[in-house]
A and B are shown apart, each in its own frame.
Chain A
Amino acid sequence: KAGVTQTPRYLIKTRGQQVTLSCSPISGHRSVSWYQQTPGQGLQFLFEYFSETQRNKGNFPGRFSGRQFSNSRSEMNVSTLELGDSALYLCASSLALFRESSYNEQFFGPGTRLTVL
């Protein structure tokens, strides 16, 4: 079974630009979560999508947004990039059979490393 894939793996942008990152979950997984990892703040939850709806959201400004498609693939977008947005962005998918179920294990992708110059 293929794992979680993220594209691109590396990205360099300049301040003020916008960026879109993509995540393809494991086949059959309906929940996709996004995390940001930086040396200063560590691993922080961005948001989670389930069946094309945002189900949970972390404490990030509105410049960070996401969406999920009917095939469960997800994209996250960051507009008006700032230097502090440089980070490893990790995507995780889980089975989440029932919308209100208890925890389902999350499988992480390799991440997209974004550098903002």
Chain B
Amino acid sequence: AQKVTQAQTEISVVEKEDVTLDCVYETRDTTYYLFWYKQPPSGELVFLIRRNSFDEQNEISGRYSWNFQKSTSSFNFTITASQVVDSAVYFCALSEARGAQKLVFGQGTRLTINP
């Protein structure tokens, strides 16, 4: 069975600090996809990144970066120089290739950036 664990329920930092959101996953499949979504107070889930299981290359997009390590089944998300607008709930998710449109989400991490 698939499972995604986000051990950090809530994180609070001061603006401009760097913050890392942890994600650990479990799956028996060799082919799968990993995602991060952001959910602002409005409720809509905003897609941030997708990684497939064969691509362990880390990615950087502006202040956001992702570290994918198959050896530890982790897909961590770092925000550098955080801003108040980054405050939201962040979800890590997993999808098997064959049931591809079904996402299994972690419990989410509520991130609060204080001015």
Contacts and interface: CB of A to CB of B under 8 A. Distances in A.
Interface of A: 31, 33, 35, 42-45, 48, 50, 55-56, 58, 88, 90, 92, 94, 96, 100-111, 113
28 contacts: A31-B101, A33-B101, A33-B102, A42-B106, A43-B108, A45-B103, A45-B104, A48-B101, A56-B101, A56-B102, A58-B102, A94-B101, A101-B100, A102-B33, A102-B97, A103-B50, A103-B52, A103-B95, A104-B100, A105-B47, A106-B101, A108-B44, A108-B46, A108-B47, A110-B43, A110-B44, A111-B43, A113-B43
Nearest to A108: B45
A112 to B, nearest CB: 10
A106 B43 contact: no
A100 B101 CA distance: 10
| Contact residues on B (Cβ < 8 Å of other chain), bracket | 20 to 34
B105 A42 contact: yes
